[in-house]
Amino acid sequence: MRIITWNINSVRARLDIVEKLIKDYDPDVLCLQETKVQDHMFPEGFFQDLGMPHLAIHGQKSHHGVATAAKQPFDESFKIDWCSKGDARHIAIKLKDGPTVHNFYVPAGGDEPDVEINEKFAHKMQFLDEMTTWSEELDTPTIMVGDLNIAPYEEDVWSHKKLLKVVSHTPVEVDAMMKIKDAHDWQDIMRDFVPKDEKLFSWWSYRAKDWSAADKGRRLDHVWTSPSLKGKAVKMEVLRNVRGWVKPSDHAPVLVDFDL
C-alpha cells in the first residue's frame, strides 16, 4: 500500500500537478494539507476521474484544510477539533482491515517563538501538547502523516545554527515533538530510511531564487507509525523532483510504501 503526504498549498490552484502526481506515482492513499477550500467547493469529481473516489475532506475558507483520497473504500472517517478552535487541521480514515491514517496540518506558529507575545506560537504549542495526550491514549495501529511544521534534527534543516531561533526548529518545539514521539513510541519512518546525519528536507521556500541549488530546505513533513507497524514500511522517498514541476507547491510530497 502506497501512501503519499503532500502540503499542496491550494488544491484548486494545483489540479494539474495533483493529476501528474497520481498518474506518475499511483498512490493508494493521498493525504493533502493546506487545501484552502471549503468542503462544498472541493473538486470531488477530479479525484473520482483519477481513480481515487473515496474522500475524507475537512476544509475551511482561505486557510488550512486537509483531505485524504483513497482508491479503495475505507471503513469510516473522523475529525478531531484540536484546541477547540474549529480549524480544519485534521482528518482520519480507518482502512479496511488496516491501520487508521491520520492526516495533520499543525499550526505554523508565526514569527516569534515566544508564547507570551505570540498567540500563534501559543496555539502551536497547545496543539502539540494535545497531540501528546492523544498519543498516550492511542491503542490501535496508526499511521500519522502530514505537515507537522517542525524540523526536529540538526540535519532536518539547511543550517542548524542559523535556524535555532527560527520557528520550526527552536528547541522548545523540538522538545514538544519528542514528547509526542515518546508518548506512543512513534516510529519516524523517514529517518528509518535516511540516517540522522544526512540532510533530509521536504520544504523549500518560494523566495529562494534557485531553491534546488541553494538547498535551504527543512523537513517539515513527516510519516510516523505505531510501534506495532515496525518494519512494515518498505520504501520511503521525498519526491524532490515534484518541487521543480511547473507552478509547484513549496512542499515536496513524501511517499511511503507499506507491506501490511
Partner DNA sequence: ATGACGTTTTTCAAACGA
Q: Which residues are near DNA by CB under 7 A?
A: 7, 9-10, 12-14, 34, 36, 61-63, 107-111, 120, 147, 149, 166-168, 203, 205-209, 218, 220, 247, 250
Nearest approach in angstroms of CB 61 to DNA is 5
Nearer to DNA, 70 or 223 (CB): 223
Q: Which residue has the cell 507491506?
A: 259
Nearest approach in angstroms of CB 12 to DNA is 5
Contact 185, 191 (CB under 8 A): no
Alpha-carbon distance of 86 to 192, in angstroms, equals 34
- Output DSSP code: residue 251: B
SS3 70: strand
Nearest approach in angstroms of CB 62 to DNA is 4
Nearer to DNA, 166 or 172 (CB): 166
Nearest approach in angstroms of CB 205 to DNA is 6
Nearer to DNA, 103 or 168 (CB): 168
Alpha-carbon distance of 218 to 186, in angstroms, equals 20
- Output DSSP code: residue 47: H
Quick count: other Cβ atoms within 10 Å of Cβ 80? Answer: 15
Quick count: other Cβ atoms within 10 Å of Cβ 41? Answer: 11
Alpha-carbon distance of 243 to 199, in angstroms, equals 17
Nearest approach in angstroms of CB 64 to DNA is 7
Nearer to DNA, 71 or 120 (CB): 120
Nearer to DNA, 54 or 120 (CB): 120
